[in-house]
Amino acid sequence: MLNISRNPIRDKVDPEVVKTFDQTSISKTIKRFVRWSAVLTFVVILLLFVPWTQNISGYGKITNYDPAVRPQDVQSPIPGKITRWFVREGDTVQEGDTLAYLSEVDASYLDPNLLERIDQELNAKVAAAEAYLNKANAQADQVEALQLSLRIKRGELDLKIQSDSADFAAARVNYELAGNQYKRADTLYREGIKSKYELEQRLQSLQEAQAKLTSAENQWRQSKAARQRLEADYAEYIAKARSEQYTAISHREAALAEIAKLQNRRNTVEVRQSYHTVRAPQEGVVSRIYIRGIGENISAGTPIAELFPTSDDRAVEIHVRAMDMPLLEEGHLAQIEFEGFPALAISGKPDLNFGTYSAHVAVVSQTPEAGGTFRILLRPSEDWPDRLPFGTGARAYILLDEVPVWYEIWRQINGFPAESYDAPQNPTSNSSSSTKSTSSNSSSK
């Protein structure tokens, strides 16, 4: 009745007779469900212990690692008017190739012979500076001549002063001698030995000696005064000559300053005229031309064309959340999916990925972007596809530590941070099996 025998009798007994068969038997569907449930439960438990690589994902685009070779605008260095184009969009140019030609619109630079005019002014100022230099040298020579003449005349007057001083000393001796003689004659006259006539002669001699003494003293003083006048006169002459010399030097310095200004202006005009020809700053492709007319006026700094430099120094720029940024450092490995290249990626199993490419973290920005995210630059750890246009979208998976699946599920549920690891010394090597992409898949692309 319970249908537990190995020899079933269901086929031998009519079910309508024994209805308990329907109530006590187990259907094959239920048995199959129980069997598959057990298998699936075992598989799920087994998968919970499968290794899982934690990662930080982010979406970004292709850029150039070197800022010097990123797409740039070629700007007009001066205000002007475009008179001719030498390139078209899509043309490949080398460094220094001419892109366009500008003509002047500034009234101060419209003279076609401006450099010749400046050269004439410059030559005139140079001649004036030389003339002032010659005048200053002549005044210096005049000062030396006056000083020499002063020394000569000073020597002559010194001799004359010495001679007058000697005459004055002799006249003083004669005056003293005549005075003594007069005193003796007066004494003898009082004693009656000398006559009054002799006394008067001695008095006359005394008066003559006194007159000669006064004359000699005046001559000596006049000589000294003449020497003082000589010093004063020549000091005035020398001061005047030096003043003329310094005036000439001052005028020469002013002329030199004007020469410097004119040279500066000439150099400015030369450089400005060289700016009439807009040249390519480096090798690249003219991807866009902004100014499409001839004769259109533009101001200084106006972009006239976009140049896309030719460079293989590519990188992927992505943005990560602020909570993920502390886990990253330079050298961490990553896997990248490029738009336009078929790929099948499992973020936690990089060894099973198809069509992804290896990279490593090159730059971790320390300042947040406008949206609060942080900028990360990834550089290739293997050869990337040849044709990756600038700005192509890319999804990156920055690989962290390897943990069991159950731990990752538990971490995600609780919102705990991922486990990081120390970046390798040589991030370009693909020694870890968890970071390499399938080389056959890459080569097939």
Residues 335 and 435 in one domain: yes
pLDDT for position 401:
79
Q: Is residue 102 part of a domain?
A: no
Rounded-to-integer distance, Cα 176 and Cα 169, Å: 11
Examine the pLDDT at 74 and tell me if it is beyond 70: yes
Residues 143 and 234 in one domain: yes
pLDDT for position 264:
94
Residues 208 and 284 in one domain: no
Q: Is residue 271 part of a domain?
A: no
For 105, phi and psi rounded to 5 degrees? -125, -10
Examine the pLDDT at 118 and tell me if it is beyond 50: yes
Rounded-to-integer distance, Cα 352 and Cα 346, Å: 7
**pLDDT, tens digit, 9 for 90 and up, residues 209-241:** 888 888 888 988 888 888 888 888 889 999 999
Rounded-to-integer distance, Cα 48 and Cα 406, Å: 5
**pLDDT, tens digit, 9 for 90 and up, residues 257-301:** 999 999 999 999 899 888 899 999 988 889 889 887 788 888 888
Name, in order, each residue with C-beta under 8 angstroms of 235's C-beta and a sequence gap of 6 or more.
none
Mean pLDDT of 427-439: 41
Q: What range defines the domain where residue 23 resides? A: 1-47
Task: Break the chain down into helix, strand, coil percent, rounded to 5.
Answer: 45, 20, 30
Residues 320 and 387 in one domain: yes
Mean pLDDT of 394-408: 84
The side-by-side arrangement of strands in the sheet containing 297-298 is: 277-279, 98-104, 80-85, 297-298
Residues 166 and 236 in one domain: yes
Q: Is residue 106 part of a domain?
A: no
Q: How many domains does the chain have?
A: 4
pLDDT for position 7:
61
Q: pTM score, two decimals? A: 0.56
Average pLDDT taken over every residue of the chain = 82
Residues 340 and 431 in one domain: yes
Q: Is residue 432 part of a domain?
A: yes
Residues 149 and 199 in one domain: yes
Residues 285 and 335 in one domain: no
Name, in order, each residue with C-beta under 8 angstroms of 180's C-beta and a sequence gap of 6 or more.
none
Q: What is the domain-level CATH number for residue 343?
A: 2.40.30.170
Rounded-to-integer distance, Cα 196 and Cα 13, Å: 214
Residues 206 and 325 in one domain: no
